[in-house]
Amino acid sequence: MKFRILNFFIWIFLIAVAMYCGVNGLALWPIAAAAIMYPVFLITISTNIRWNVFAKGFHHQKDHPKKEVCLSFDDGPTNVTPKILDLLDRYDAKACFFCIGEQMEKYPEIAQDIIERGHIIGNHTYSHTRKMGFLSSKSLAREIDACNIIANDITGLNLNLFRPPFGIINPKTKSALDKTGHLVIGWNLRTYDAILNDKSKIVNRIKRKLKPGDVILLHDNKDQTPIILEQLLLHLKSNGYRAIRPDQLFKINAYN
C-alpha cells in the first residue's frame, strides 16, 4: 500500500478513536500519546537510512570475502578536498565523493580532478538545504537534477549514485528517486568527523569496528578530516585492507 494512503488511514483512525473516547467520556491521553508518538516514529524511520524503510540502498556488503572497504566523502568539493586526493594517491586508495552542486560550481577544477585521479562522484543534491526533510518530491527531484546537470557540465558524466543529505529518506525522497532513477548509497560506519573534535577517539572507533565490505562516511569540508584519513589509511594498509569505490564493491554503475 502506498505510504500516503496508509498515512491517511492512520490519521483517520486516530481522529475516530479520539472522537469515540470524547463522546463516551473515556480517557483521551492514550490517543494523544499515540498522536505524538506516530510522527516521532516516522522521523525515526526516515532518518535511519540503513533500515531501508522507504527506499532500498547500498549500505555495506555483508560477508564480503575480500579485505576491501569503501571510503566516501560528503559535502565537498572544498579547499580540503585536494589534501584528501593527495593522501588517497599516496596510499593507492580509491573513493567516492558525494558532491553538492553549489560546491562543484565553486570548485569545478577540483571536481574534475576527483574524476581524473580515478575516484567517482555521486549526487548529494544541489543546495544541501537544512530544510531537506520538508521538501516536496518535486523540489527534491529538482535538487537532484540540478546537481546532475552541474556535474555533467564539468565532467561530462551523468551521476547515477545518490546519497541523501542528513541520511533522510522519507516517502517524498522515494518518490523523487522514482523520477530521477538514482541508486541510494548509504553507509554503515560513521566517523563523526563532522561533529566530534577528538581525532584519536574517532580513529580508534573506526579501527575497532572496521570489517570487510564496510562503507565509511567522512566529510571533505572539515579541516580535521585529512588527519583522520591519514591514520585510517595507515591502519588499512598495515592490516591488508584495500579502499575501493562503491561501484566496485556493489558491482553497480556509477554513471549512466
Taking the C-alpha atoms of residue 167 and residue 219, their distance in angstroms, rounded to an integer, is 13
Give the number of other Cβ atoms within 10 Å of residue 198's Cβ. 11
> By Cβ distance, which residue is nearest to Zn ion?
74
- Does residue number 220 form part of the binding site for Zn ion (CB under 5 A)? no
User: What minimum distance in Å lies between the beta carbon of 4 and Zn ion?
Assistant: 27
Q: Which stretch binds Zn ion (CB under 5 A): 25-33, 88-96, 101-109, 158-166?
A: 158-166
User: What minimum distance in Å lies between the beta carbon of 99 and Zn ion?
Assistant: 10
- Does residue number 143 form part of the binding site for Zn ion (CB under 5 A)? no
- Does residue number 165 form part of the binding site for Zn ion (CB under 5 A)? yes
Q: Which residue is it, cell 577528538?
A: 198
- Does residue number 74 form part of the binding site for Zn ion (CB under 5 A)? yes
* Nearest alpha carbon to residue 160 among 135, 138, 185, 132: 185
* Nearest alpha carbon to residue 247 among 166, 173, 160, 187: 160
* Size of site (CB under 5 A) for Zn ion: 3
Q: Which is nearer to Zn ion, 74 or 220 (CB)?
A: 74
- Does residue number 246 form part of the binding site for Zn ion (CB under 5 A)? no
User: What minimum distance in Å lies between the beta carbon of 232 and Zn ion?
Assistant: 19
Taking the C-alpha atoms of residue 213 and residue 235, their distance in angstroms, rounded to an integer, is 16
Query: CA separation (Å) from 162 to 6, 102, 142, 180, 207?
Result: 27, 16, 13, 10, 27
Which residues contact Zn ion by CB under 5 A? 74-75, 165
